[in-house]
Structure 1
Amino acid sequence: MDLPARAAELIAVPSTTDRPGDLRRALELVLDVVGPGFTVEWFESRGKPSALVHLPGSRPAFRVLLNAHLDVVPADAYAARRDGDRLYGRGAQDMKVAALVLADVFRSLAPVLPYPLGLQLVTDEEVGGYDGTAHQVAAGVAAGFVVIGEQSGLRVVTDSKGILQVRLHATGTAAHAAYPWLGANALLTLTAAVDAVLRRYPVPPEEQWRTTVNVARIETGNRAVNQVPAEATAWLDIRFPSEDTDLAGRTAEEITAFLRALSGVDVTVDSLGPPHHADPDSPEVTLLRAAAREAGYSGELLRKHGAADGRFYSARGVDAVIFGPGGDGQHGPHEYADLTTVAPYRKALVLFLTGLSPAR
């Protein structure tokens, strides 16, 4: 396979969440790499297509499932550009190059391995993963171990944070701005509530493995400068590790009560995804790290601050890890995949899959 050429063709597809036709087109391009002779199960949820590929016959419980997402965040342009060993373009690092490698490895090894191997291709990871990986898991797709090809520089990610998106809402009493004592300023109440949350979870001065809060937006319906606002809303994006027992393992109702007590205002949970954790001492992780080292990389463990689709497997007691090639600049105008890591990445995957015991 001429991977740079294939990757350039795939990167050129603007597979954003608002383009269902291009989401399917990206899927079909990767399935072309897999080629004939396999069963392709198609799924769709809320307009988001996904596919599951395995050997002909009924769907097995996979010993290993290779997972890749083909959607990207929007960009001004989608053409790929190569500069030496760097392939630039939206989705190059996150994660179209890795998806092609996973497809090629699956095509080569699925027919000869002594256990069932699956390839899971989804198109909604960038918007939450609920209509791709989560939808397939709910439909009965099962595996003993999952490798997600997100970028990692051949390090093995066994932990990623949960995601919590909430709104804080404060109400007050409108009044003329010249007589503020006659009203109650909802914006002041809201900023005090936000400050209370940030005192509990201050912005770290540098990278730290703890809960973080991003204040994404504050709004009020008030449009008059000479009026005391009667309502205001703040949108917060909270990322939390499994060690934060106030959030991890809690229901939306429990989290609502916790944040309401902390902030003193009304709270609405818009989105909640649990942290992802895989046993770093499991035989699969141990073998994958050894394969990465044999391919010339450290294979060290890594923790990611962003949420990932592995949480849908972790929630069901299935170990899932992120293991991908190198690059940088994801979601930015200078995103690139490091092509020098592609061959070692493929080698590590092959060593891992061929060295794995058929039984857990």
Structure 2
Amino acid sequence: MDEVELLKKLVSIESPFGKEEEISKFITSLLEENGFSVERIPVEGFGDDVLARLPGKGPTVVLNGHMDTVHLSPGWSRNPWGEVDGDRLYGLGSADMKAGLAVLLSLFIEMGELPKRERPSLIFTAVSDEEGFSRGTWKLIESGKLRDADIVLIAEPTNERLMLGARGRFVIKISAKGRKAHAARPQNGVNAIEELAKVVSNLGRIRLRKHLKLGKGSYCTLSFRGEADGLSVPDRAEAIVDRHTVVDENWTKVREEIERLAKKLGVTAEIRVERYPRPTPEMLPYAVRENLREVKLFKRAMKEMGVEPRVTYGKSVGDFNYFANYLRRTTLVFGPTGGNWHGSNEWVSLSSVRRVKEVYREFLKTLV
């Protein structure tokens, strides 16, 4: 099946996270038309996950892609539902990650035409809500339907580099409790806004652990709220903070480093540090060893297909964090070149899409 024509069709289907039902039905129908038995796994409030199996020889390989996109942003000058200009296909989700999804789906269908002895066992999975809380991937892992997997391949856009790890992420709620007083006599109270502002404006002073492959973590304040009750010293304030982490950084360490900072700054408000509630587990960092057999074989496949076997590591999080940490399988991420992910005029290189498919095909051949 031609991956570029399939990509055009996928991009034409609107599927922001929470509205994946139509694309889920399309993928299901396509697989069934090609003779596959398909499982649809409900994800409450989102489109169903799609799963299909293809028995083969050797290890069991999961081919994973997410069906959802971010919501359409303003500023598009290209058709967000698909427009080809030279080597580029413009469209919402074209790079992130309908191109990768098209590669894996078309490859899975083509692998079904080969004799069983010439392919590994494959599990194709298309999931919802990657752009939100990874509900689809978590539902898939939680179901136990992937417990026989040996390797996970994800075609997120990596500019044709092999991604062997990624940072993790905590979203943190930092609350400050002060003491109310008349605003004309602020010295009689404790201003929660001002005290919490000391903390968030000094997060950059925290010394962060450095990882050989993942680099350092980071802090970024996402929101800040607080207000006075009339002409009063405000006694409540709250900040939501992003904290990207590297291997060996955990929640206890993160919480304690913020608490130490507040103490060092002499903050007089009562500071409370909590994890912001989420419906799925935390996204933890991971790194795949470069000397693994699967990694060496993938690099060889890249070289065979004329792609320089370069390695990269993700600065942010995705479904790959879940497969690596909760399914606990070797997780390799490799996808096409593109640009403007999550922004206007997102695009993907069509020649890159074709090369990525050839690399995956070559790698799968080496496993049998």
SS at match of 1:176: coil
Distance 1:132 1:260, change over 3 A: same
Distance 1:107 1:6, change over 3 A: closer
Distance 1:227 1:349, change over 3 A: same
- Aligned ranges for residues 12-161 of structure 1 at < 5 Å? 12-19=12-19, 23-34=20-31, 35-48=33-46, 49-55=48-54, 63-76=60-73, 78-110=80-112, 112-114=115-117, 115-129=120-134, 131-140=135-144, 141-142=146-147, 143-161=149-167
Deviates more, 1:230-239 or 1:176-185: 176-185
- Aligned ranges for residues 256-335 of structure 1 at < 5 Å? 256-264=255-263, 265-270=271-276, 271=278, 272-315=282-325, 316-335=327-346
Alpha-carbon offset, residue 320 of structure 1: 0.3
* 1:348 counterpart (329, 338, 359): 359
Mapped contact 2:258–2:273 kept (Cα < 8 A): yes
Mapped contact 2:27–2:50 kept (Cα < 8 A): no
Q: TM-score, normalised by structure 1?
A: 0.87
Distance 1:209 1:310, change over 3 A: same
How many residue pairs align between the two structures? 340
Aligned Cα root-mean-square deviation (Å): 2.5
Alpha-carbon offset, residue 221 of structure 1: 3.8
Q: Which runs of 5+ in 2 are unaligned?
A: 264-270
The percentage of counterpart residues that share the same residue type is 26
Aligned twin of 2:240: 235
Alpha-carbon offset, residue 15 of structure 1: 1.1
Mapped contact 2:64–2:152 kept (Cα < 8 A): yes
Q: TM-score, normalised by structure 2?
A: 0.85
CA distance in 1, matches of 2:306, 2:15: 33
SS at match of 2:63: strand
Alpha-carbon offset, residue 178 of structure 1: 1.9
Does the alignment pair 1:169 with 2:175? yes
Alpha-carbon offset, residue 3 of structure 1: 4.0
SS at match of 1:273: coil
CA distance in 2, matches of 1:56, 1:211: 41
Q: Which runs of 5+ in 1 are unaligned?
A: none
Deviates more, 1:297-306 or 1:37-46: 37-46
Distance 1:10 1:172, change over 3 A: same
Alpha-carbon offset, residue 50 of structure 1: 0.5
